[in-house]
Amino acid sequence: MLPGCLFTSQLGRGDFIYAASKTKIWMASLHSLRQQLANLVEHFKVEEAFHLLGSQRAMGTLDLQGIELELHIMAGYAYLHHCRPKEAMLHFNDHIDPRDLLLSLLECIPPGPEEYSPELRALLARKPLKADAITTSETEATTPLTCGVIFTGDEQTPEASSERGKKHVTEGHSDAGHEDRDGAEDSYWAQWEGLCPYNTYAGELHHAWLETFETFPLVPRSGDDANEVIYRQVTECGAVTATTFLEHAWELFKDEVTLYFRSRLRQSSDVYARAMEYALLVLALEAQDHRAAYRVVAFGVSIRLEDCYDLLSSLREYRLLACLLFRRGYVREANELLALRVHVSSILPPPEIKPLDAARATSPAYKIVPETMHVHLNRLLAPPLTSPHQNTARSQTGGGSSLNVTSTLTALPPSLTEAMYLVSKLNLAALRELLQEDPEASWTVDEEGCSLLHVLFGLLVSLGRSDEDMTSEGGGALLNLVLSCAILLLDYGTPVSVVSAQGFSCLDVVALAARDAFLDIILAALLADREVKDIAAAVEKGNPMPIV
């Protein structure tokens, strides 16, 4: 009996307790432990919820492991909705389907089969290989492929991808997949159990973040203008507007998702790894983290060609697309794409037929510069006295990558190595990092005999065509970046003297790809770098200064 109660009812069904005194009647509702925990989490009392669970575990002998797992998922979503993604990922651990999380990043969900481009449909008709091992026969018929199709409009934009994701979810496509291949079991949504029941927030994620933003104190206004932008004092952000707060929240969320997925990959099933690797690729490309993007494509075990083909084509990431084609057994298609979109020869005019004894006399670089400069060209193009091993057929390995790599990896052709990709993206910081880890990468030579300097200077073709597409400021910035990359490569021993299979040196590529003025600028920069190195070497050895 409760104090002051005259009687209580024992006829209830377990949901309520009734009690009465002389003047009052009480009706107390009973809730299960799950309901109490959910109610606490809903009011963002996460610590209290775990304290309640701990007290219940201490009081009885019930197995609360299942309830604890549910509580972690609920707590993860609660932290996520309150713009604390780091704590959310700690609670999620490996308890959730990563696709549930990606429903808040719909651009990270690949297109469905009904949205594949005609080129991709034709490619998939050949029943591609799933393994990394290459067993394609040279006599095998090849499906005609328009390599590197470029989409127009916003067919492949993140907004379009968002609509795709909404379509998958709202129409209940939990088993929609590649019906023309292996059925629903091969679908992106295979084994998906539908929307997570523990994500109790009804709206979009950014709406929850705006509600969180409203809880921070207002910054006093400077005037009485009703249209004045509202600022709030946000912890770790300072005084910010709602727009700035959302931008920061999305950036923080994507960073934490990237770390979370990388930590889960090694222990994940193929279905989960497929979703996470595609998301990691999209997020890396969005952040221009070219090393991360390359390693997903080159080392990811579960990444699918059908998921990435149209994405990489629309972004003109032809080298990554060729890499994925090569790994999935489409060797001929990869070579076609390399020849059409990637190799230096694809941007240069066809070479002239010339006698062997007149190679330098007809060299594009020698034609452009005055005869008085030929001695300097000879100096730059003279082969080094010592030739380190040229990396003509290096295979990529997983190294320290956090991706779910297997012990047997396909050896990629030199044009698809990480060094070639980073040079083609003009990512100076990433290239420096790679060369510090692997200095021999500076000697990489592709299948056409082109060095990293050939590839680098081939990028100047955009300057030669910059009348309409690039401002003078943009052209100058690009030229400075090319020069910085060139000096970095020279510092790590990339040879200037390498001649391609077409008979072109890297300076010939400059002469053919850009205007005459750029050859003068690059030639002067390379000569200055050579002179500085010669002087430094002479000083180190105690020899007289070289005569310039």
Task: Indicate whether this model's pTM tops 0.85.
Answer: no
* Residue carrying the six token digits 């494509």: 297
Q: Quick one: tokens of 457?
A: 């200077």
Mean pLDDT: which of 185-189, 203-207, 431-435 is highest? Answer: 431-435
The Cα–Cα gap between 256 and 234 comes to 19
pLDDT band of 10, cuts 50, 70, 90: low
Tell me the HSE value of 481 on the side-chain side, using a 13 A CA sphere: 19
pLDDT reading at 181 higher than 60: no
What is the pLDDT confidence band of residue 351, given thresholds at 50, 70 and 90?
Answer: low
Buried-exposed string 248-282: b where 16+ CB fall within 10 A, e elsewhere:
bbbebbbebbbebbbebbeebeebbbbbbbbbbbb
Contact at 8 Å (CB) between 61 and 161?
no
pLDDT at 372: 85
pLDDT-derived band at 390, boundaries 50, 70, 90 = very low
> Do residues 91 and 72 lie in contact, with contact meaning Cβ atoms separated by under 8 Å?
yes
Domain layout of the chain by residue ranges: 1-26, 31-95, 101-342, 353-541
- Of 54-58, 136-140, 226-230, 357-361, which gets the smallest average pLDDT? 136-140
Q: What is the DSSP letter of 111?
A: P
Mean pLDDT, range 91-115, rounded to an integer: 95
Backbone dihedral angles phi then psi of residue 220, each to the nearest 5 degrees: -55, 140
Nearest-angstrom CA–CA distance, 153 and 159? 12
Question: pLDDT above 70 covers what percent of the chain?
Answer: 75
| Residue 482 scores a pLDDT above 70 | yes
Mean pLDDT, the chain, integer? 81
State pLDDT tens for residues 489-518: 999 999 999 999 989 999 999 998 876 778
Residues 40-64 pLDDT 10s:
999 999 999 999 999 988 887 677 8
Calculate the alpha carbon distances from 34 to 24, 66, 70, 301 in Å: 30, 10, 9, 39
Contact 345, 448 (CB under 8 A): yes
Contact 208, 250 (CB under 8 A): no
